[in-house]
Amino acid sequence: MDSRTMLILFTLVGGCMIAGLIFFALVHCSHTSQWQPLIKDDETLSHTLTEICKKYDQPALAAALIRSDETTVKAAVGTCVYGEDVPVTINSRFHIGSTTKSMTALLITILVKEGKLRYDMTLKQALPGIPMLGEYHNVTILDLLLNKAGIIAFQSSDYEDPALFKNLWDSISARFPNPTQQRREIAKAVLALEPIATPGSKVIYSNVGRAIAGLIIEMAADQSYEDLFIAKIFEPLGMHTAKIGGWPASAADASQPRGH
């Protein structure tokens, strides 16, 4: 994913957490063998979501209760943009935030099972041809997934070098429209910087870490990160309308949620 998308993903994960909590309002686990949902129809769920939106001042929410392969109830409430009038629907493409980081880890796990990667593989081994400081040579893929690689966080321009932040946020994506090339340039830029902590010693949540992981994935599989994501995660799970990469909604696409 490009650098702009990574930061947007990070800032939106809070909304996903709120949506996840809705699960506890949907299910009643009785002491009998008969399972019964607490919310039994779409209208009741819609009312519940509306109340949650009002209470937490959210622009929109969507939720579904799925048991086995059956969708029991589903609803979406609110608007595509906070304070505006275009409503969301159950077919709206909500940006799912930093949960894609977990999916990236899953993709690495799949490639490990296929024998194309190893968790103890070092960045020097996994990124042939990518220049990097010696401090990163022995950082492993597992270190990267655990946010222990010592690389920069890339979370906010308020706390990091503005020039570096602008390069990762704007310049690279402007100069290199191809997502694979963006990941390559991000990796080169980040791995040329001194570690902000001794690699392996400290957990520092890093948004650029998953961009580097994405580059590792596509170099190992000789296929784009986006295509692999669709083929190995979205399609097997039946997520046929999901997409990866870029920002799925903009001012030019008023039918989709944005800013959520």
SS (H, E, C) 105-163: HHHHHHHHHCCCCCCCCEHHHHCCCCCCCHHHCCCEHHHHHCCCCCCCCCCCCCCCCHH
* Predicted pLDDT of residue 249: 57
Could you tell me the CATH superfamily of domain 99-222?
DD-peptidase/beta-lactamase superfamily (3.40.710.10)
Mean pLDDT across the chain: 83
Distance CA 103, CA 130 (A): 24
CA distance 199 to 187: 16
CB atoms within 10 A of CB 25: 16
What pLDDT is stored for residue 225 in this prediction? 93
pLDDT at 8: 38
pLDDT at position 243 is 77
Element (H, E) at 79: none
Contact indicator for 191, 216 with CB cutoff of 8 Å: no
pLDDT at residue number 73: 93
In this predicted structure, what is the pLDDT of residue 49? Answer: 95
User: In the chain, which stretches have pLDDT less than 70?
Assistant: 1-36, 157-159, 245-252, 260
pTM as predicted: 0.75
Q: For residue 4, what pLDDT is reported? A: 43
Residue spans of the domains in the chain: they are 1-96+248-260, 99-222
